[in-house]
Amino acid sequence: MTLSDAEIMVAATRAFEANKANIPAEARGKVKSLTLAFRPDTVVITGTLSMGFIPMPFEAHCEPSVRPDGETLALRIAKVKAAFFTGDGSSILSALMNQLQAVPEVAAENDTLLVRLPQLLARRGVAVEGRLSDVRVEPGALHVTIG
């Protein structure tokens, strides 16, 4: 199965919109303008993080893998680029998770976003039958092996 970054963003946006009332008021709007891009061997999440009154653009480079359960796509944040920022990306992951907690198909574990891909794609009407066994990223496309 090959998925474009646009397909994933549409499914995630629908899930977010359907559940955004569940975001605590203090977490709303901390992360804005999220985008997703597939580059060679990397999933790149970009956006703007509000740090007080200063919007800080960021770019998180994630290494994808499939978890042994056969349903979860793991995106480990390997590198973060942001203006005036140094660190391992934990503050950006924390802000992302505060925003994304409205999406039941997404969770976090340490420095990794966990996406229950079959359930997320079901929101787009895309049925995934079988277990995820491998993932490969190329420019503009996420290739998921099922079976």
pLDDT (tens digit per residue) in 50-105: 767 777 788 888 899 999 999 999 999 888 887 766 566 667 777 777 777 667 88
Q: What is the pLDDT of residue 118?
A: 87
144 and 132 in contact (C-beta within 8 Å)? yes
Mean pLDDT of the 26-41 span: 75
**Span 105-133, pLDDT tens digits:** 888 888 888 989 888 888 778 888 889 99
Q: What is the pLDDT of residue 108?
A: 81
Burial of residue 41, with CB atoms counted within 10 A of its CB: 0-12 exposed, 13-18 middle, 19 or more buried = exposed
133 and 147 in contact (C-beta within 8 Å)? yes
Q: What is the pLDDT of residue 71?
A: 92
Output DSSP code: residue 40: T
Q: Where in the sequence is the domain holding 31, given as residue range(s)?
A: 2-146
Residue in this structure with the two tokens 């049925």, named with its chain if needed: 127
How many domains does the chain fold into? 1
